[in-house]
Amino acid sequence: MGEKGATNEVTNGLVNALRDVDAGVRWRACEALGRMGAKIATNEVINGLVNVLRDTAAVVRQCACGALWEMGEKAATNEVINELVNALLDVNPGVRWRACQALRKMGEKAATNEVINGLVNALQDVDAGVRWCACEALEKMGEKAANNEVINGLANGLRDVDAGVRRRACKALEKLGEKAANNELINGLVNALGSAAASVRWHACKALGEMGEKAATSEVINGLVNVLRDVDTDVRWCTCVVLGEMGEKAATNEVINGLVNALRDVDAGVRCHAQEALEKMGEKAATNEVINGLVNALRDVNAGVRWRACQVLKKVGERAATNKVINGLFNALWDADADVRRCAYEALGIMVDKVFS
């Protein structure tokens, strides 16, 4: 039927059907109202759905939560929110999951203390689907959910037996960023870098990147060095990005050696991000090994990698002005890519004193 059928007569008929003696009719009425969505989210419809959140049939309760989810913020009244919090304790996992979904869609509008406490409790639900949906709901509530109970609950989620829950806990913590950064949490994210699931490792890496200087500890940096060799391409490039954001704080010998190895990665994106990270580390990264790696990158099959190598050498300037570097940049003046040629000219211009001395 869809939204085109959302006339007053039809809507009123469906609201009346929510009180039918037959559970199948009540369920279908909920389903139809949900399909019509926010367009028919009147007080009468919302009140009718609130009443069936306490229905004797689990399938009706679940479908009522689903209909409220479809209506989103338009259904975010105090009464609805309170009933959805109660539904988080429902005996049926499908109802609890749908209640989490509805609260997630309502976002910051639903971010009351009662809702947040209910979602924190749902992080320990026996059902994995409920746990991961609770993580997502807390993520959507933003700064309002950045309290110690939430952070501790999400930190526990990093150790969940379910990879989907661990991934979503990392993602929620990534959104909270520096506000969530405490030692226990950072250690949990470092442990998550060793997860068997690549998506968990990637989100853990991103979350550490969002936590700023607080995450630039020896333990974190060592953990990131290990995942520079990850089997997953996305994890490797994300690690390069995070190390680059940490800048000189992360410029240890182990990190620099790891990034030099990443300059030879099979993936061009990883090679580019490794160059960017070395560039951000400044003088500490201007070692012979790094400079030799950048000279080799001037012959890379990927034009973006060759251009980035010129950029980094240009930034290093006179400190990189060895015969090998100058010869490499000179050869790059005939590169097939105009951007590479232009950047090679600029880099040589900076080194001009060395060239003519």
What pLDDT score does 204 carry?
A: 93
Contact 173, 189 (CB under 8 A): yes
Residue 41, in any domain of the structure: yes
Does residue 114 sit within a domain? no
Task: Compute the average pLDDT of residues 201-229.
Answer: 90
Q: Which pLDDT belongs to residue 41?
A: 81
Q: Are residues 256 and 326 in the same domain?
A: no
Looking at the structure, tell me whether residues 265 and 327 fall in a common domain. no
d(CA 309, CA 20): 71
Tell me: pLDDT of 34 over 60. yes
In a domain, residue 193? The reply is: yes
The whole-angstrom separation of Cα 240 and Cα 238 is 5
pLDDT at 148: 86
**What is the band of 354 on the pLDDT scale with cuts at 50, 70, 90?**
low
Tell me the CATH number at 203.
Answer: 1.25.10.10
Q: Rounded CA gap, 162 and 221, in Å?
A: 26
Q: Are residues 251 and 342 in the same domain?
A: no
What is the model's pLDDT at position 355? Answer: 53
pTM for this prediction: 0.78
Query: Which residue type sits at 327?
Result: N
> Which tokens belong to 200?
């968990």
Average pLDDT over residues 78-99: 95
At residue 225, the pLDDT reads 95
353 sits in which H/E element:
helix 352-355
269 & 316 share domain:
no
| Final residue in a domain of this structure, among 80, 108, 136 | 108
User: Do 237 and 202 share a structural domain?
Assistant: yes
Domain count across the chain: 3
Are 18 and 69 in the same domain?
yes
Token pair for 337? 């890519």
Type of residue found at 89:
L
For the cut 70, the answer to whether the pLDDT of residue 1 exceeds it is: no
Can you tell me the distance from the alpha carbon of 101 to that of 150, in angstroms, rounded to the nearest whole number?
Answer: 17
Query: Of 66-80, 111-125, 227-241, which gets the smallest average pLDDT?
Result: 66-80
Mean pLDDT calculated for residue range 247-271: 94
- What average pLDDT does the structure give for the chain? 90
Contact 59/27 with Cβ under 8 angstroms? yes
In a domain, 254, yes or no: yes
**CA distances, 84 to each of 79, 94, 103, 104, 280 (Å):** 9, 13, 7, 11, 48
Q: For residue 6, is pLDDT > 80?
A: no
Residues 234 and 338 in one domain: no
As a whole number of angstroms, the distance between CA 236 and CA 238 comes to: 5
* Rg of the chain in Å (alpha carbons): 28
pLDDT at position 181 is: 77
Kindly state whether residue 206 falls inside one of the protein's structural domains. Answer: yes
Question: Which H or E run includes 260?
Answer: helix 253-262
Torsion of CA 127, 100, 142, 232, to 10 degrees: 40
User: Based on the domain organization, do 281 and 315 belong to the same domain?
Assistant: no
Domain span including residue 335: 306-357
- Decide which of 282 and 206 is more confident: 206
pLDDT of residue 109: 86
